[in-house]
């Protein structure tokens, strides 16, 4: 069992710390909320009066904080972690922060001779309580191997995301996709309602197509991801269908800003000469728009 | 076995007609392409010189045409279907056209005392050949019941979509969602590449979350679709995460027009006082924007 | 003075016809609204029972109709203009319709040996009454020269827009720009209000800059339109300022979908390597997105 | 003549400081760039080794820095302005920074008993050299009165923008409008080119309409700004025209993301029951989307 400093005892951090205690780890806990500290002391943790004090003698330092400026301050501020951190210890930031700030923090720690990795979590506070979080681990193989027994006290699935900084990156991508998809789904559902169509019927159909299953595991793997853009369904036709949907939506007064933006992306793909390519070639189109044309493909 | 007029022998129509022949139906076929007619005559169909001629004596008239103006012309034009259609026959439009035009056509047929339904198909031309199309049936129960034996010669799954006009509606919604989702997926994948993150890792994570599985069967059923918008994940936080993703994307030169449009939808939801509601409440927000606030919920 | 068939006596057409009568022209008028015909007959016009009847003996045929399908039907339908049109007459369509439909109509007339031009109007129905409309004339020099005396009875400014079809094109561009600009202006004004800034102060400042005066006559002429994209104000900085504005707007709950879309256009310009070019180089960027890179510059 | 500390001697700051010297003011200058300091010392300025040193004995402290974090650090950091600032002095921040940060800085200075105003500038570095900048003055009447003689050494037009923080606000609005308008203008110009229409003709027309002159001083003052939304040009028609423009653009492969976003704003206005209101009522629509419906109008 390990000696662990745990800093940040909020809605997620408190149950995560509790699960570490249950597994028999020795915890030094710190938060600005004294009540949160007290509740963990009852469960066997040792209270600390500063990040530096919590870090004293710890093999692992875990931070679970609301934003990157706080992580920076906890690490590098007065009475911060670096004041008493052993060069043999491993710092694990589990907060959800800006990925480019994660990079800066890891680099700054590394300059001081300290080892740091990022392991943000997926799922909800209920899973934090149950110890069944999804662990998105950014770190070297050695870091991940070393941290795994500790991390698995808090979650039940660990995905190695690549080197340091990759944990927070995969969390960002996942959140981006699910949050924007929520807005797109709302447009489709409201158009459905405006058309007088049963949503249950729409769901039944969409559950069997990329509309419901997504493209990542259906249309893309055998086409654009293999470099094959011969048309199963042409960009020209997809563009035409989007135009019909937007026309209907505009007749029925259903605002569809994401749909409208999509149509212009397909429009641009056609302007680039991709009209008769497969619709999955839109990936290549967006890569080009991002200036990635010259790089190696994924 | 039935006597069927089949009008429109293109990439989809030809194999569909072929499958009807295989099942033993008697077919009168018409197209402007004489070669297409000849190939079906070889398989046992009877050639017709006009839609009216094909319709003579038919119990079913199936149209599979590239656009709604052609369907109109085939039905109502000189030498059109209506010239020789029996009031006992059933017209089945399987084309993919504008839904509001479908409504007009069905209403115009009805005024003349004719029965018409819409059954556009899902899946690809390979499935048309194999007789495994998805059949999206818009019609009365009686129409659907009557048409089912004929339709099932061409597909292996029939989804009753509601009354006349609902088949084409559900096809529109499904296409809208899948086509726009393709554009959104491309943004996420390109941001992933620009961040130096392995796409395989991103997929592994997204396949376990709404990012990959969609919201229709994950987050929505127990929240907004039940009228519960207490926050599992707040709109304020979703908005914040979108802002971070867009900030990163703009630093890395990845254009994300759908993401940018999404953020303004969440922004508007917050302006409407929904910041502390669950992110699935975005559905209600979009309903309001479409002027549906006063109607019954779905 | 000329003999003129005038077809379409709506809110704009009626006063336009009235002004032709005042100048002493002889008018044959047709509309489906008998009251509108009657009111012009009182002023000296001769009633016609069909477009063909109105066209009988006319040197000019003017159409002022709500959409292109009606123009087509008036020209080519039963009892249409073509039934009695003299090959020496000139048809002037003053309706606002789809430019590509204008092209088709002019081409179809030309095939039949008829001369047709497009002269949509600018300004309002008040100007139609006063005879001070803006005339956007698409036609050959000969057509424009011939039509000018007739047209100037209805307006006080005639802009030759180029050959046939160019009148309706310039109207489209002008409407596009002014209608979308209205939406953008609303975003700026609402952000102003949300910031607690006096709108009068904002106006005073914007009236002296491209924000109020536009770019066409201020920043563009000496930069991108001359092929000079050396930076007076860099795209990188414009992109940064947009980011600040959107950040403020999102903090204050002001949805700015046009601003958000703009930022992604600048983002794409940076991805294309234009970050250190002048902001007016965005024109070149948009040209490239439209696949116009290889053409001659404007 | 006044004793002035001038901090920030970049492309704008250096000539501004030079013009203050020419008017006979006594300058203490500081920058991290020693060369910039040296060039001003040659012109009569006195070099300082820190912001605090420059501030010693100064009646005015002018900051002209690249971002808000630097302004904060120059004011509140070690050897910062506050170390030696007299409570009688006036601090004038002329930098272009985030407005909400300006508010924080002014509030923090006020808590310490110091007087601070924001006067960002308009126009270019050429105008900085010529002393003809536009001065956007945010401050109390007393602050503005006191600062005017000093400011007018650097510019030739001073616009009082309201109280502290309003100078930076009006700069933000102006920049937002002009930068987004540049993107919109590019869409219109490229559509013009794709339509084969002369840009000179389009300019000639637009220069006489809101397309070129903007709405602030043309359509708005007599309609929505007076509370009159009776239609001179209906939102329904504006929406229809946008639809035609987008349809043409999509046929011609001209991506128009701002136009597409605009159409959805008009779409939403129609959904809110404004279809038959004047197009200027879009301002009210956007106010509502921003949650401003209940507030006093502008």
Chain A residues in contact with B181 (beta carbon < 8 A): 181, 184, 210-211, 214-215
What is residue C6's DSSP assignment? E
- H helices of chain D, in order, are 13-22, 34-42, 51-55, 68-76, 99-111, 125-130, 141-151, 166-194, 199-206, 210-213, 235-251, 257-271, 282-289
Q: Would residue B294 count as lying in a domain?
A: no
Q: How far apart are alpha carbons C160 and C178 in whole angstroms?
A: 20
Same domain, C73 and C150: yes
Same domain, B213 and B85: no
pLDDT tens string for chain D (298 positions)?
Answer: 899 999 999 999 999 999 999 999 999 999 999 999 999 999 999 999 999 999 999 999 999 999 999 999 999 999 999 999 999 999 999 999 999 999 999 999 999 999 999 999 999 889 999 999 999 999 999 999 999 999 999 999 999 999 999 999 999 999 999 999 999 999 999 999 999 999 999 999 999 999 999 999 999 999 999 999 999 999 999 999 999 999 999 999 999 999 999 999 999 999 999 999 999 999 999 999 999 975 444 3
User: Would you state the pLDDT for residue C296?
Assistant: 45
B226 CB-side CA count, 13 A: 11
Q: Cα B95 to chain center, whole Å?
A: 11
User: Would you state the pLDDT for residue A296?
Assistant: 44
Find the Cα–Cα–Cα–Cα dihedral D263, D269, D272, D277, rounded to 10°. Answer: -140
- Residue B105 sits in a domain whose CATH number is 3.40.50.720
- Residue C271 sits in a domain whose CATH number is 1.10.1040.10
CB under 8 A, 24+ apart: contacts of D99-104 = D99/C195, D99/C248, D99/D165, D99/D168, D99/D169, D99/D172, D100/C248, D100/C251, D101/D68, D101/D71, D101/D72, D102/D68, D102/D138, D102/D165, D102/D168, D103/D165
Annotated binding site of D for 2,3-dihydroxypropane-1-sulfonate: 123, 174-178
User: Would you state the pLDDT for residue A294?
Assistant: 52
Q: Would residue A73 count as lying in a domain?
A: yes
Q: How far apart are alpha carbons B235 and B282 in whole angstroms?
A: 8
User: Would you state the pLDDT for residue A99?
Assistant: 96
Same domain, A256 and A199: yes
pLDDT single digits (tens) C58-82:
999 999 999 999 999 999 999 999 9
Question: How many domains does the structure of chain B reveal?
Answer: 2
In which region does residue D214 sit, left (phi positive, over 0), alpha (psi from -120 to 50) or beta (all else)?
left
Q: Assess contact for B42 and B27: CB atoms under 8 A.
A: no
Residue with tokens 């960009």: A235
Give the pairing of strands C60-63 and C90-93.
parallel
Q: How far apart are alpha carbons A114 and A90 in whole angstroms?
A: 7
Q: How far apart are alpha carbons B289 and A255 in whole angstroms?
A: 7
Q: Cα B103 to chain center, whole Å?
A: 15
Choosing from B139, B164, B189, the residue where a domain stops is: B164
H or E element in which residue C280 lies? none
Query: Among B216, B188, B217, which residue's Cα sits nearest to residue B203?
Result: B188
| Selected residues 261-290 of chain B with any CB under 8 Å from a CB in chain D | 261, 268, 271-273, 289-290
Average pLDDT over residues A93-103: 96
Q: Is B262 annotated as a binding residue?
A: no
B267:C249 CB<8 A: yes
Average pLDDT over residues B47-67: 97
- D89: which 2 tokens? 């002095």
Same domain, D107 and D255: no
C271:A289 CB<8 A: yes
Q: How far apart are alpha carbons C14 and C187 in whole angstroms?
A: 37
Q: Would residue D294 count as lying in a domain?
A: no
What is residue C64's DSSP assignment? -
Q: Would residue A297 count as lying in a domain?
A: no
- H helices of C33-165, in order, are 34-42, 51-55, 68-76, 99-111, 125-130, 141-151
Q: Assess contact for D258 and D213: CB atoms under 8 A.
A: no
Q: Assess contact for B236 and B227: CB atoms under 8 A.
A: no
Q: How far apart are alpha carbons B40 and A174 in whole angstroms?
A: 50
Q: How far is C153 from chain D (nearest CA, A)?
A: 20
Query: Among C157, C184, C187, C298, which residue's Cα sits nearest to residue C252?
Result: C187
What is chain B's length?
Answer: 298
Q: Assess contact for C234 and C276: CB atoms under 8 A.
A: yes
Same domain, C17 and C155: yes
User: Would you state the pLDDT for residue B130?
Assistant: 97
Q: Which residue of B has its CA nearest to C266?
A: B255
Q: How far apart are alpha carbons B280 and B289 in whole angstroms?
A: 15
* Number of inter-chain CB pairs under 8 A, A vs C: 16
Q: Assess contact for C266 and C286: CB atoms under 8 A.
A: no
Chain A residues in contact with C291 (beta carbon < 8 A): 271-273
User: Would you state the pLDDT for residue D298?
Assistant: 39
- A106: which 2 tokens? 């890891």
User: Would you state the pLDDT for residue C125?
Assistant: 87
Q: Would residue B295 count as lying in a domain?
A: no
Q: How far apart are alpha carbons A293 and A279 in whole angstroms?
A: 18
Task: List the single best residue of C155, C176, C220 to mutate versus D (max D Cβ within 10 A).
Answer: C176
Same domain, B135 and B185: no
Same domain, D22 and D108: yes
Task: List the single best residue of D235, D256, D261 to mutate versus B (max B Cβ within 10 A).
Answer: D261
User: Would you state the pLDDT for residue D294?
Assistant: 52
Three-class DSSP category at D26: strand
pLDDT single digits (tens) B68-104:
999 999 999 999 999 999 999 999 999 999 999 999 9
Choosing from C136, C164, C192, the residue where a domain stops is: C164
User: Would you state the pLDDT for residue D124?
Assistant: 86
**Is any Cβ of chain D less than 8 angstroms from the Cβ of C179?**
yes
Q: How far is A88 from chain B (nearest CA, A)?
A: 28
Q: Give the pLDDT band (50/70/90) at residue A124.
A: confident
User: Would you state the pLDDT for residue D104?
Assistant: 97
What is the domain extent for residue A238?
171-289
Give the angle subtended at the CA of C205 by the CAs of C202 and C208, to the nearest 5°.
Answer: 140
User: Would you state the pLDDT for residue C294?
Assistant: 52
ipTM confidence:
0.94
What burial letters (b/e) apply to A148-178, b meaning 16+ CB within 10 Å? eebbbbbbeebbbbbbbbbbbbbbbbbbbbb
pLDDT single digits (tens) D140-191:
999 999 999 999 999 999 999 999 999 999 999 999 999 999 999 999 999 9
Q: How far apart are alpha carbons D61 and A132 in whole angstroms?
A: 57
Same domain, B155 and B282: no
Give the angle subtended at the CA of D291 by the CAs of D285 and D297, to the nearest 5°.
Answer: 65
Task: List the single best residue of C72, C186, C255, C274 to mutate versus B (max B Cβ within 10 A).
Answer: C255
C116 CB-side CA count, 13 A: 28
Residue B27 has pLDDT above 60, yes or no: yes
Q: How far apart are alpha carbons C271 and B253 in whole angstroms?
A: 5
Q: Would residue C88 count as lying in a domain?
A: yes
Q: Give the pLDDT band (50/70/90) at residue B298.
A: very low
Average pLDDT over residues B219-245: 95
From residue B237, give the alpha-carbon distance in Å to each of A58, C169, C257: 33, 46, 20
Q: What is the 3-state secondary structure (H, E, C) of D30-52?
A: ECCCHHHHHHHHHCCCEECCCHH
Q: What values do phi and psi take at B26, rounded to 5? A: -95, 120
Same domain, D85 and D158: yes
Choosing from B138, B164, B190, the residue where a domain stops is: B164
Same domain, C187 and C153: no
CB under 8 A, 24+ apart: contacts of B217-223 = B217/A203, B217/A207, B217/A212, B219/A182, B219/B279, B219/B280, B220/A185, B220/B280, B220/B283, B223/B278, B223/B280, B223/B281
Residue A297 has pLDDT above 50, yes or no: no
Same domain, A90 and A181: no
Q: Would residue D43 count as lying in a domain?
A: yes
The count of other CB atoms within 10 Å of the CB of residue C149 is 12
- D170: which 2 tokens? 């009006």
Q: Would residue C75 count as lying in a domain?
A: yes
Q: How far is C253 from chain D (nearest CA, A)?
A: 6
**Is any Cβ of chain A less than 8 angstroms from the Cβ of B293?**
no
- A73: which 2 tokens? 């301050």
User: Would you state the pLDDT for residue C239?
Assistant: 97
Average pLDDT over residues B91-120: 97
User: Would you state the pLDDT for residue B294?
Assistant: 52
Same domain, C200 and C181: yes
DSSP for A103-140?
Answer: HHHHHHHHHTT-EEEE--EES-HHHHHHT-EEEEEES-
- D54: which 2 tokens? 């420059």
CB under 8 A, 24+ apart: contacts of B13-17 = B13/B64, B14/B39, B14/B40, B15/B125, B15/B128, B15/B129, B16/B62, B16/B64, B16/B94, B16/B121, B16/B128, B16/B133, B16/B154, B17/B45
pLDDT below 50 — which residues of chain C?
295-298
User: Would you state the pLDDT for residue C251?
Assistant: 96
Q: What is the 3-state secondary structure (H, E, C) of B115-129?
A: EEEECCEECCHHHHH
Residue A193 has pLDDT above 90, yes or no: yes
Strand partners, A155: A133
């Amino acid at each position: 069992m390990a000696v662990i400093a745990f800093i940040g005892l909020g809605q997620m951090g408190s149950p995560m710390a509790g699960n570490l205690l249950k597994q028999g780890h020795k915890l030094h806990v710190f938060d600005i909320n004294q009540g949160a500290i007290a509740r963990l002391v009852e469960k066997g943790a040792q209270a600390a009066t500063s990040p530096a004090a919590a870090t004293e003698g710890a093999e692992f330092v875990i931070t679970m904080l609301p934003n990157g400026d706080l992580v920076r301050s906890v690490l590098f501020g007065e009475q911060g972690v670096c004041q008493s951190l052993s060069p043999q210890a491993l710092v694990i930031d589990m907060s959800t922060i800006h990925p480019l700030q994660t990079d800066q923090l890891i680099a700054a720690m590394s300059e001081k001779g300290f080892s740091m990795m990022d392991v943000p979590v997926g799922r909800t506070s209920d899973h934090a309580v149950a110890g069944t979080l999804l662990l998105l681990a950014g770190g070297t193989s050695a870091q991940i191997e070393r941290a795994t027994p500790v991390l698995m006290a808090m979650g039940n699935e660990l995905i190695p995301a690549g080197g340091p900084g990759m944990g927070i990156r995969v969390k960002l991508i996942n959140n981006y996709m699910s949050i924007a998809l929520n807005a797109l789904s709302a447009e489709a559902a409201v158009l459905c309602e405006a058309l007088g169509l049963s949503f249950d019927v729409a769901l039944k159909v969409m559950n069997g197509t990329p509309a419901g299953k997504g493209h990542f595991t259906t249309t893309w793997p055998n086409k654009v991801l293999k470099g094959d853009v011969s048309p199963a369904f042409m960009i020209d036709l997809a563009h035409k269908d989007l135009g019909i949907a937007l026309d209907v939506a505009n007749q029925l007064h259903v605002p569809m800003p994401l749909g409208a933006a999509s149509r212009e992306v397909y429009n641009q793909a056609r302007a680039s000469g991709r009209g008769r390519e497969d619709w999955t070639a839109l990936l290549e189109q967006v890569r080009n728009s991002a200036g990635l044309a010259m790089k190696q493909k994924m």
